[in-house]
């Protein structure tokens, strides 16, 4: 948790510049970021409607045995998936893949029960349905300019 806190402090954006205006107040910075990305991702700027594109796209599909999907997970499958994960950024809960690998003996069963419950109920836990959007600066660019920040979603 201390690593995450230190990273947050290090990555904190002191000021933003958008449309020639500098903001240092948290609410002004949030408004500038919101306005910039709302405009950038506005559907009216799209050359093609995403729904139309997806509806008219034909893709090859593989035959799928649905029983594999609905049978649930076992501990070995979950652990094998975890081992394939790198040590990427942790989600909003601060739990990294590295930590999960370290505490697997005591935590694996709880995680397995959680995933199997989600499969049975058809609904993930609220914390697994929530993401936090973070802005990552582009290398060697002025991080005060919103156009030099990339949004990514962090999920638990």
- For residue 105, the model assigns a pLDDT of 93
Tell me the backbone φ, ψ of residue 18, rounded to 5 degrees.
-145, 130
- For residue 103, the model assigns a pLDDT of 93
- For residue 140, the model assigns a pLDDT of 92
Residue segments in the chain with a per-residue pLDDT below the cut of 50: none
List beta partners, residue 154: 132
| Cα distance between residue 115 and residue 73, in whole Å | 8
- For residue 6, the model assigns a pLDDT of 60
Those residues with Cβ within 8 angstroms of residue 102's Cβ, 6 or more apart along the chain or in another chain: none
């Amino acid at each position: 948790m201390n690593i995450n806190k230190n990273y947050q402090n290090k990555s904190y954006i002191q000021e933003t510049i958008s449309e020639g205006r500098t903001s240092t107040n948290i609410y002004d910075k949030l408004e500038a970021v919101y306005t910039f990305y709302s405009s950038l991702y506005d559907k009216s700027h799209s050359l093609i409607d995403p729904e139309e594109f997806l509806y008219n796209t034909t893709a090859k599909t593989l035959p799928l045995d649905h029983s594999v999907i609905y049978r649930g997970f076992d501990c070995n499958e979950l652990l094998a998936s975890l081992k394939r994960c790198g040590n990427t950024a942790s989600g909003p809960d601060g739990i990294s893949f590295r930590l999960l690998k370290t505490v697997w003996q005591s935590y694996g069963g709880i995680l397995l029960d959680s995933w199997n419950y989600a499969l049975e109920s058809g609904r993930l836990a609220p914390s697994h349905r929530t993401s936090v959007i973070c802005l990552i600066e582009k290398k060697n660019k002025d991080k005060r300019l919103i156009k030099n920040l990339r949004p990514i979603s962090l999920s638990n």
